[in-house]
Amino acid sequence: MGSDTPEKTTMKGNHTNGRALKTLVLIPLYNHADTVAEVVKKAISAGYPVLVVDDGSTDNGLISLKNLDCQTIILPENRGKGAAILAGARYAAENGFEALVTLDADGQHNPLEAEALIAEAEQGTWPAIIIGAREMTQETVPGSSHFGKNFSNFWVRLECGRSLPDTQSGMRLYPVQELLLLDLQRTRYDFEIELLVKAVWAGVDARSVSVSVHYPPADERISHFNKLIDNWRLTLLHTSLICRRLMPLPYKQVIAKKNTTEQPLVVKNPWQTLKNICKESSSPFWLAVAVWFGVFLGALPLIACHTIAIIYVAYRFQLNKVAAVAASQFCMPPLVPALCIEVGYYLRNGEFLLDLSWDRWLLEIPQRLWDWLLGSLIVGPVLGLAFATLVYWFSRRFSIRTARKLSDNGLLPKLFAIFKK
């Protein structure tokens, strides 16, 4: 992704940290003059070379870094956090860095914990994205942050199949070369989600390590997140990623071998295909999600191809296919289709279809199919939510009771010992 605006770079020294991965700490800066100097000082004290990319700030924050041993890049105008990270990644590539650790300039992250991300990258599969999963236990953490994190985790899980505890954390380690090879379109708050999902699609591993987080009181907190505009951008991004996920097209690969456990749905051996479909296990939550999709798709007028469509969608989203197909059976004719038709007819005409004559139900098939489609868009989600709630409740109770029995019988420690071996 190229730059359409010139960048001014100030160099201060050439650092090496002597680690297996030559790592640069990048701090995107936009109007955080009060906190950025302390963040940079901590990062320098940890022994890492530091780069600050000023994304068109208007509060002269770089002045506070005048006597600190760090590099700076100044973007003439505000282009978003993504643009700042890409500018930093280009600098890192030009100077031989293999990994890039990003930290927010607001002091939310502890730069000393970058060591944990680097250690994880060096010990496990590489190249990889390592996310610092925030331990959001402070009383000052806003409820919107908890919701936003869980909401983002849900969509990322559907889009790339990875269950990650904190997909919104700004403390991350990126592989420099692979980052620059990705086809990225976003440059603002939606950039990090797009980068994460497309990197996993491209074969890059993604893992997490726990890190602390600091949230100042609400009256001291500075956030540039626009709840209307940025949430709209995230909505458009997730919509496009979900649509792309459903397309049966190969993803662009940036490394030789894709690091994924995803198995092909259909293989030459029909028994192996059946085994691939049936062997899945899921948490209570994702089992409930599979049931919701099964009921929703089962309610749609996908005549003669419900099962194929459900298995395909479950495969693309890495959901439990057996649960989804089984749940769809509750939508078999005549009850649910008739209910959908009634609801759809009511939406179009303001009254229910009480005429059960041959002319109404068989000779007006195009109209009834239209009613069915409209009605299924309401009945399907509502009915799916009801079934998903029941499945989640029963599945969770079963899991808890099973765990208690294993614990009471002394089998749980034995199982852990077996898996540990």
CB pairs under 8 A, 24+ apart, for 43-46? Answer: 43/70, 43/103, 43/111, 43/114, 44/68, 44/69, 44/70, 45/111, 45/112, 46/111, 46/112, 46/114, 46/115
Q: Domain boundary residue among 211, 231, 246?
A: 246
Lowest-pLDDT range of 93-97, 221-225, 281-285: 221-225
What CATH code is carried by the domain that includes residue 97?
3.90.550.10
Report the pLDDT averaged over residues 119-147.
84
Report the pLDDT averaged over residues 406-421.
45
Closest to 74 in 3D by CA, of 15, 3, 24, 17? 3
Same domain, 46 and 158: yes
The reported pLDDT for the residue numbered 397 is: 80
For 223-265, the pLDDT digits (tens) are 666 778 878 999 999 999 999 999 999 998 988 654 444 556 5
Lowest-pLDDT range of 93-97, 140-144, 235-239: 140-144
Distance between CA atoms of 224 and 227, rounded to whole angstroms? 9
Same domain, 373 and 238: no
Residue 255 DSSP label:
S
Residue 113 lies in a domain: yes
Distance between CA atoms of 200 and 188, rounded to whole angstroms? 20
Distance between CA atoms of 371 and 294, rounded to whole angstroms? 20
Same domain, 241 and 274: no
Residues with Cβ < 8 Å from 213, sequence gap 6 or more? 108, 109, 134, 135, 136, 138, 141
End-to-end distance of the chain based on CA atoms, in angstroms? 45
Report the pLDDT averaged over residues 44-49.
93
Same domain, 14 and 121: yes
The reported pLDDT for the residue numbered 117 is: 96
Same domain, 191 and 278: no
Residue 161 lies in a domain: yes
Q: How many domains does the chain have?
A: 2
Tracing tokens 């870094």 back to the chain, one arrives at 65
Residue 1 lies in a domain: no
Same domain, 235 and 281: no
Same domain, 73 and 173: yes
CB 113 within 8 A of CB 169: no
At 302, the pLDDT band (50, 70, 90 cuts) reads very high
Q: Domain boundary residue among 246, 278, 293?
A: 246
Residue 326 lies in a domain: yes
Residue 156 lies in a domain: yes
In DSSP terms, 131 is beta-bridged to: 172, 208
Same domain, 309 and 364: yes
Same domain, 46 and 187: yes
Distance between CA atoms of 46 and 110, rounded to whole angstroms? 10
Distance between CA atoms of 395 and 281, rounded to whole angstroms? 12
Report the pLDDT averaged over residues 155-172.
94
Side-chain-side CA neighbours of 232 within 13 Å: the count stands at 3
CA 258 → CA 81, 200, 208, 232, 268, distances in Å?
Answer: 28, 9, 19, 32, 22
Whether the per-residue pLDDT at 303 is higher than 50: the answer is yes
* 137 vs 323 pLDDT, higher one: 323
Whether the per-residue pLDDT at 409 is higher than 50: the answer is yes
For 60-88, the pLDDT digits (tens) are 889 999 989 999 999 999 999 999 999 99
Residue 259 lies in a domain: no
Q: Which helix (H) or strand (E) segment is 173 a member of?
A: strand 172-175
DSSP string of 194-226? HHHHHHHHTT-EEEEEEE------GGG------
Mean pLDDT, the chain, as a whole number? 84
Closest to 52 in 3D by CA, of 40, 64, 66, 63? 40
Q: Domain boundary residue among 230, 246, 262?
A: 246
Same domain, 134 and 184: yes
Same domain, 41 and 186: yes
Which of the listed ranges 128-132, 248-252, 274-278, 327-331 does the model predict with the highest average pLDDT? Answer: 128-132
Same domain, 231 and 282: no
Distance of CA 5 to the CA centre of its chain: 30
The reported pLDDT for the residue numbered 299 is: 96
Residue 235 lies in a domain: yes
The reported pLDDT for the residue numbered 267 is: 53
**What residues make up the domain containing 210?**
8-246
Residue 143 lies in a domain: yes
Side-chain-side CA neighbours of 207 within 13 Å: the count stands at 18
